[in-house]
Amino acid sequence: MAIYQATTSAPVNIACIKYWGKRDTTLILPTNSSLSVTLSQDHLRSTTTSQADPSFTETRLWLNGKEEDIKSGGRLERCLKELKKMRKERIEDKDHNAPKLSEWNIHVASYNNFPTAAGLASSASGFAALTSSIAALYDLNNFSPSSSAKPSAASPSELSLVARLGSGSACRSLFGGFVAWEAGSLPSGTDSLAVQVAPQEHWPTLHALICVVNDAKKGTSSTSGMQRTVETSALLQHRIKEVVPQRMDAIIKAIKEKDFDTFAKITTADSNQFHAVALDTAPPIFYMNDVSRSIISIIEELNRVSLLNTGHLVAAYTFDAGPNAVIYTEEKNVKQIIELVLRYFPQAESNPFPDPFQLFGGKQPAGTTTLPEGFNEGVAKVWETGSVKGLIHTKIGDGPRVLGEGEALLSSDGMPKTLA
Amino acid sequence: MAIYQATTSAPVNIACIKYWGKRDTTLILPTNSSLSVTLSQDHLRSTTTSQADPSFTETRLWLNGKEEDIKSGGRLERCLKELKKMRKERIEDKDHNAPKLSEWNIHVASYNNFPTAAGLASSASGFAALTSSIAALYDLNNFSPSSSAKPSAASPSELSLVARLGSGSACRSLFGGFVAWEAGSLPSGTDSLAVQVAPQEHWPTLHALICVVNDAKKGTSSTSGMQRTVETSALLQHRIKEVVPQRMDAIIKAIKEKDFDTFAKITTADSNQFHAVALDTAPPIFYMNDVSRSIISIIEELNRVSLLNTGHLVAAYTFDAGPNAVIYTEEKNVKQIIELVLRYFPQAESNPFPDPFQLFGGKQPAGTTTLPEGFNEGVAKVWETGSVKGLIHTKIGDGPRVLGEGEALLSSDGMPKTLA
């Protein structure tokens, strides 16, 4: 008999305008709009296979090969409920020959191709992959051209509403390119969704260098941290009401015009302001450490001399709820930045992450010996090897992909394949 | 013939509501009011001798034994001009037998009893000592009982206007106890002065423990840093207009009621907010480092368990424009806090600062072995010896003191004595 299953992959996204604070913690409705860049799935992705079968006695989930308990009423169930509703209303109620997948339990297997050690938020790509794979299973997706015309198809924005219920920032991983999560104002949250500001083809030369920073101790979880900020920061409301709306308009304009200087200025300013309101929290929340700050000092100094020498900025840095830096830059500047980073942060021979040295023929280059004219070498010390655990060089990428049967994570018996 | 000279000492003050930003950089008028605790001169002080003589061919200044160039129109000259004006109008114009000190050049020698290594702002105590010693030389002071009745006497608030021209925070060192620097609103700055909120006798059990933190690299100077914040922070104006006025009222009330919990809550919140707006600056400004953050984590954890166990807070931390922590606590808690700090920050045998271990018979105690019930040991790692270079245990103190001839830093010939 037929096997009903679908496999999709979804990307990681890194915010330029940060999401920090919920106005509704159950529906995951944010206090402000945010904007992100979708990173290439060629380097970082979550892959999920969903399978429905009348013989399944319960809903089951495997993350990276390990089965997880499914909290009833939890985030996965909330997403699944919405998708089953869509399946029933849009397909099963209209076509009585359509299999009643919405009445069957499902098995889900999900896998991140990046080590959790990276400390990269995997919940965004994870819930985006979950949502898109179930949508594909239910024939609700319009990711593949063939299905794009289907009246039953849900738009990525519609699916972003579902992914949002799993993890707020996941809604932004339903699109490639530059994505805005509009905060919305309805209590129902039906207007709190993701829209694409520009596709990746609009600005294909935008690259990202992730500096994976060694983290001494686990910081505050963003879920609890952001609500502590909402409750105690005297500055957050001003950020929400006065600062973010202006920055959203300005950065969207900068993206449409491919104005890197403005894009970089707003991105770095908003990263710093996010960490500022975290610090304005009681008790204060710290995510950046001395290594993070050295990366900031180096990039700020590089931008300072570049502005003097060329009138333009070279790079933008942004930090999420952890010490890792994400550096955005134009393709033509990536080599210089990698060499600069290596000068201050010597790397071990083996890099634990997808090869960051493609531009150097796969071999780790030496740290740069010639600094830009006027660059103040003393802005940071040379750190001990391993302070930056590794680098990931990637670029702007596309949205969820529907993958072939060959990439399925579940066997025909509904159990996870053992990955090589 | 007569020698006209006076020697005074002045204290360090540490702000609980921070001064960060000038609305007038020449007159040193702040963007917001601030409030500080004056620390005891028994531990930290600047001592200054001023001598006037018709034979002096120029104004000369020695700091810690080394002669300094005096910038014409600089901060010292601005203070001196105001004091000469007071001398002339209040004394020489009224009593024609009074020596015309205002027409003579002066020699000034100033000495800080704490190592600059401490990274404690010496400009506040320095300009307060300079102002008070010249005021005493000119017979304008009312610090000593004998002269308190003099009609010519200038009040500490009047002298705070002069000290402010030298260094903003110096105005707060003209008083002991708890001192408010009222921002004022007049362009002339004549209403931007210090007033005493409460004398040290009001709350004599308030102690301070200064953790002198090893500083890898020199941070941004506060003078340039604060103006960068004024120019670029999107949050500072909200702090100035909405947050600080409320906090000033609330902390003054807390001080008058000796309500340590409220005092501690506001002090820590305002320290964190000051560093938050510094981080919200472009480029961002960092003064705290990972050691500073570990001190915060330890104190926050101590307060958390104390609140659970006793319903009260134990300590407040505050950081100025550097990584050093100043911990305010009640006398009865000092021992516990020193032992807790030593547990995480082992000290070298020799402490470079005035003996912080009086409470332990002058001997360095071991780091505490028994943590408070429920204290999460993992909030910070145990740092390598020397991460905290030393401790200074002091308490709330009095304002400028007029010292005897025996403590003069200048000889009768107007040249600095060589200090043993």
Task: Assign A71 a pLDDT band (cuts: 50, 70, 90).
Answer: confident
Interface of A with B (CB under 8 A): 216-217, 234-235, 238-239, 242-243, 265, 268-269, 272-273, 275-277, 279-284, 286, 289-290, 293, 296, 300, 304, 378, 380-381
pLDDT of residue A145 exceeding 60, the answer is no
What number is the average pLDDT over the span B192-202?
98
Write down the mean pLDDT value for chain B. Answer: 93
pLDDT of residue B10 exceeding 60, the answer is yes
Task: Assign B214 a pLDDT band (cuts: 50, 70, 90).
Answer: confident
Task: Assign B419 a pLDDT band (cuts: 50, 70, 90).
Answer: low
pTM: 0.94
| Chain segment B30-43, per-residue pLDDT in tens | 999 999 999 999 99
pLDDT of residue B219 exceeding 60, the answer is yes
Helix-helix angle B260-279:B244-256, to 10 degrees:
150
What number is the average pLDDT over the span A128-142?
93
Distance, in angstroms, between A241 CA and closest chain B CA?
12
Task: Assign B119 a pLDDT band (cuts: 50, 70, 90).
Answer: low
| Chain segment B45-78, per-residue pLDDT in tens | 999 999 999 999 999 999 999 999 998 889 999 9
Contact between chains at A276 and B277 (C-beta distance less than 8 A): yes
What number is the average pLDDT over the span B121-139?
94
Please give the C-alpha separations between residue A335 and each of A243, B119, B203, B305, in angstroms, as whole numbers: 34, 39, 61, 50
| Chain segment B355-369, per-residue pLDDT in tens | 788 888 888 888 877
Is it true that the peptide bond before B283 is cis, omega within 30 degrees of 0?
yes
CA distance A240 to A250: 15
pLDDT of residue B14 exceeding 70, the answer is yes
Contact between chains at B300 and A283 (C-beta distance less than 8 A): yes
What number is the average pLDDT over the span B73-92?
95
Query: What is the pLDDT at residue B150?
Result: 72
Residues of A in contact with B290 (CB under 8 A): 216, 289-290
Least confident of B114-123, B206-215, B369-378: B114-123
pLDDT of residue A73 exceeding 90, the answer is no
Shortest CA distance from A298: residue in chain B: B283
CB A364 within 8 A of CB A345: no
Query: What is the pLDDT at residue A143?
Result: 60
| Chain segment A297-335, per-residue pLDDT in tens | 999 999 999 999 999 999 999 999 999 999 999 999 999
Query: What is the pLDDT at residue A418?
Result: 79
Interface of B with A (CB under 8 A): 216-217, 234-235, 238-239, 242-243, 265, 268-269, 272-273, 275-277, 279-284, 286, 289-290, 293, 296, 300, 304, 378, 380-381
What number is the average pLDDT over the span B86-93?
95
State what percent of residues in chain A have pLDDT above 70.
Answer: 95
pLDDT of residue A259 exceeding 80, the answer is yes
Question: In this structure, what DSSP letter does residue B355 have?
Answer: -
Establish whether this prediction's ipTM goes over 0.90: yes
Least confident of A216-220, A330-334, B258-262, B266-270: A216-220
Contact between chains at A279 and B283 (C-beta distance less than 8 A): no
Distance, in angstroms, between B3 CA and closest chain A CA?
50
Least confident of A26-35, A66-75, A231-240, B20-29: A66-75
Exposure letters B93-108 (e unless 16+ CB within 10 A, then b): eeeeebbebbebbbbb
The highest-confidence range among A70-79, B87-96, B271-280, B366-375, by mean pLDDT, is B271-280
| Chain segment B229-242, per-residue pLDDT in tens | 999 999 999 999 99
What number is the average pLDDT over the span A370-383?
94
Query: What is the pLDDT at residue A369?
Result: 76
What number is the average pLDDT over the span B291-316?
97
Residues of B in contact with A267 (CB under 8 A): none
Please give the C-alpha separations between residue B273 and each of A188, B181, B242, B268, B320, in angstroms, as whole numbers: 34, 18, 13, 9, 11
Query: What is the pLDDT at residue A350?
Result: 75
Least confident of A52-56, A415-419, B209-213, B240-244: A415-419
DSSP labels for B65-125? TEEE---TTSHHHHHHHHHHHHHIIIIITT-TTS--GGGSEEEEEEEESS-GGG---HHHH
Shortest CA distance from A383: residue in chain B: B216
Contact between chains at B283 and A304 (C-beta distance less than 8 A): yes
Q: What is the CA radius of gyration of chain B?
A: 22
What number is the average pLDDT over the span A240-262?
98
Query: What is the pLDDT at residue B5?
Result: 97
Contact between chains at A272 and B290 (C-beta distance less than 8 A): no
DSSP labels for A186-204? -TT-TT--EEEEE-GGGST
**Within 10 A of A335 (CB to CB), how many other CB atoms are there?**
15
pLDDT of residue A151 exceeding 80, the answer is no
Residues of A in contact with B241 (CB under 8 A): none
State what percent of residues in chain A have pLDDT above 90.
Answer: 84
pLDDT of residue B228 exceeding 60, the answer is yes
